[in-house]
Amino acid sequence: MMPATNGDDPALHGEPPATALLRLATGYQASQALFVAARLGLADRLADGPRSVDDLAAATGAHAPSLRRLLRALAAFGVFREVEDGRFALAPLGEHLRSGAPGRMRALVLMYGDQDFWRTWGELEHCVRTGESAAKHLFGVDDHMARYAADPRLGPVFNAGMTALTTSTASAVVAACDLSRVGRVVDVGGGQGRLIAALLGANARLRATLFDLPSVVEGAAHLLDDAGVADRCEVVGGDMFAAVPADGDVYVLSRVIHDWDDARATAILGNCRRAMNDGARLVLVERVLPDRTEFAPSVQPLVLSDLNMLVRTGGRERTAAEFRSLLATAELRLERIIPTDGLVSLIEALPR
């Protein structure tokens, strides 16, 4: 068999192999450039139109010649745009970097570019060699959520990033999740309430319980009030490894199970099963890995998220078969998997 030419290999994008590999090897450079732009609030400062580099440098306390280099670099990626007189303006991607933009991508950029994420990803080789998470290796902790809750700097960065991540997928979940005949939803590990607010907003007769660590849900009241659903949502602080609220018709866990290894994931699911009556159902909002991985841009975020779980939490993304087996250990039966328009799917399960 003849070796494939560059044009035959979709992973090369028509590039020579060395160029394609170099693009992968230097991806972190663009990531950090984007992070610094978010830290400096450049998108917000350009919201009203183009500004000079000197003006932006004075506003941010940056070194003007170096700031110009950052802006030019991100202009090449479509974040900013260099106009004829040397000023810079927002490009389409940059519009989404504004702090008030839909999806709040700035909070996600600040989370993924944070030094804590950066440091743990630097230990990927250790994780691959040993199976130990970088958080365990560096900080000696098994419970990453407790670490976030105890860190006054990282905790707010993480909570804001997770709220933004939920915002980016909430509409896809709402569109795929039929709650028209449901009385009460219990959102287990629901963070500060972005998803449950969207579900309540789409279902006027629905009531809900938002359940997460006390340090997390203390930030939920403002979000729920702004969404106009606070009167239909009970907020409960607690530990899902101990117990979860009872009397829900549907239990939703959005990107919770992927944070944990099989033993601890089973413990969470088992507590949900014990809280469920026989007519209740459980809905996991998770990425679902393909049974066999091939080159596909749509799969790349899924497998990178799996590595992120290895590094950050000791958890994992799972295939459909792995979800089926995991649910069975908690006396739950996988009923169906519903794709959404986003990267996540709805994994519905019923009591066995």
Q: What is the pTM of this model?
A: 0.90
Looking only at the bridges linking them, the beta strands covering 80-82 and 345-351 are unpaired
The pLDDT value given to residue 227: 96
Positions marked catalytic = 258
Nearest to 206 by CA among 226, 225, 243, 179: 179
Domains of the chain by range and CATH?
Answer: 14-99 (1.10.10.10), 171-351 (3.40.50.150)
pLDDT > 80? residue 6 = no
CA 269 – CA 234 distance, rounded (Å):
21
Q: If phi over 0 gives left and psi between -120 and 50 gives alpha, with beta otherwise, what is residue 182?
A: beta
pLDDT at position 172 over 50: yes
Mean pLDDT, residues 258-284 taken together: 97
Q: How confident is the model over 198-237, as pLDDT tens digits?
A: 999 999 999 999 999 998 999 899 999 999 999 999 999 9
pLDDT band at 259 (very low <50, low <70, confident <90, very high): very high
pLDDT in tens, 93-150: 999 999 988 878 999 999 999 999 999 999 999 999 999 999 999 999 888 888 998 9
Q: How far apart are CA 194 and CA 152, in angstroms?
A: 21
